[in-house]
Amino acid sequence: MEKLPLVALISGRGSNLKAIIDTPNPLFEIRAVISNRYHAKGLAHAKQADIATEIIDHDLFNSRLEFDHALKNCINQYQAKLVILAGFMRILSPDFVNYYQGRLLNIHPSLLPAFKGLNTHKRALEAGVKEHGASVHFVTADLDAGPIIIQARVAVLADDNEASLSQRVLKQEHRIYPQSIQWFAQNRLRLEGQYAVLDDKPLIFNNTD
Ligand code: GAR
C-alpha cells in the first residue's frame, strides 16, 4: 500500500513531530517539515531523519493572507494528502483552513472545548480542574474548535505545577497524535460535517465549555 504523504508544520521544540517520526510501522511518509521560525528546534529532528525542511518566516510577509498563500504553495509542492500542525503557533486564515478541510489536523494541550488558546496548563491549574489533557482535532475556521478525534485525560495532582502537568500531558500527546495519523492513513478516519468519523461511527465527546 502506498504510504500517505504528509507535511508537518511546526514552530518550536518539535517533540510531537519526533514522536510521529518515531512511529513504529508508519503508514505515512513525512514528505516535509515546514517551520515559520528559523530557530525551531524541531527542524533538527526532521534533518536527522532525512526529511526535507522548509522555513517560511511569517515576519517577511505583509499580511496573514500572503503568508498563508506562501505556506499553501510550499505544502502543495510536496503533494501532501494530510497536513498536521505539530506545535504550529500561527492562526491560519479561513481560506487556508477551508482549502485543506478534512485533511488538516491539530493537537491542542487541553480537553477541548476547555482552555482553547494559549497557556493551557497554567489556566487549568488556576481553574482548579481535576482532569486535564490533550485533544487531536480536525482544524476548522473556528480556533481550536474543530471536530475532536481523540482525547487523553490526565489527573491533576495536588502538587502539580505547570512543568509537571505539561510533562504528563505531553507524554499523552506523543501517543494520541501518531494514533490519529495512523487512523487517517488507514482510511479509517474522516471529517463528516460536524463530526470526526472513525470506522463509519461519529466520534462524540460530551465535554462542555
Ligand atoms: C504541544 O503541547 C502542543 O499541543 C501545543 O504546543 C506544544 C508543542 O510542543 N500546541 C498548541 O498549543 C497549539 N494551539 P512540541 O513542539 O514539542 O510538539
Shortest-distance atom of ligand 1 to CA 41: 16
Express each pLDDT in 15-47 by its tens digit: 999 999 999 999 999 999 999 999 999 999 999
- Looking at residue 101, its pLDDT comes to 97
Residue 133, ligand 1, Cβ within 6 A: no
Last residue of a domain, one of 75, 100, 125: 100
Please pick, among 39, 58, 108, 174, the residue that the annotation labels catalytic: 108
Position 209 confidence tier, pLDDT thresholds 50, 70, 90:
low
- Looking at residue 9, its pLDDT comes to 98
Shortest-distance atom of ligand 1 to CA 170: 2
**Atom 6 in ligand 1: residue holding the nearest Cα:** 87
Q: Which of 37-46, 102-111, 129-138, 198-207 has the lowest mean pLDDT?
A: 198-207
Q: Would you list the DSSP string of 35-49? A: ESSTT-THHHHHHHT
Q: Which of 57-61, 168-172, 205-209 has the lowest mean pLDDT?
A: 205-209
Distance, CA of 23 to chain centre: 15
CATH code for the domain in which residue 123 is found? 3.40.50.170
Judgement on whether residues 96 and 113 belong to the same structural domain of the protein: no
Judgement on whether residues 30 and 112 belong to the same structural domain of the protein: no
Judgement on whether residues 182 and 160 belong to the same structural domain of the protein: yes
Please say if 58 is a catalytic residue: no
Domain of 74, in residue numbers:
1-100
Cite the beta strand spans of 49-167 per DSSP E. Answer: 52-55, 82-85, 104-108, 131-138, 148-155
Residue 16, ligand 1, Cβ within 6 A: yes
Distance, CA of 50 to chain centre: 21
Threshold 0.75, pTM exceeds: yes
Task: Tally helices (H) and strands (E) across the chain.
Answer: 6, 10
Judgement on whether residues 170 and 209 belong to the same structural domain of the protein: yes
Judgement on whether residues 63 and 111 belong to the same structural domain of the protein: no
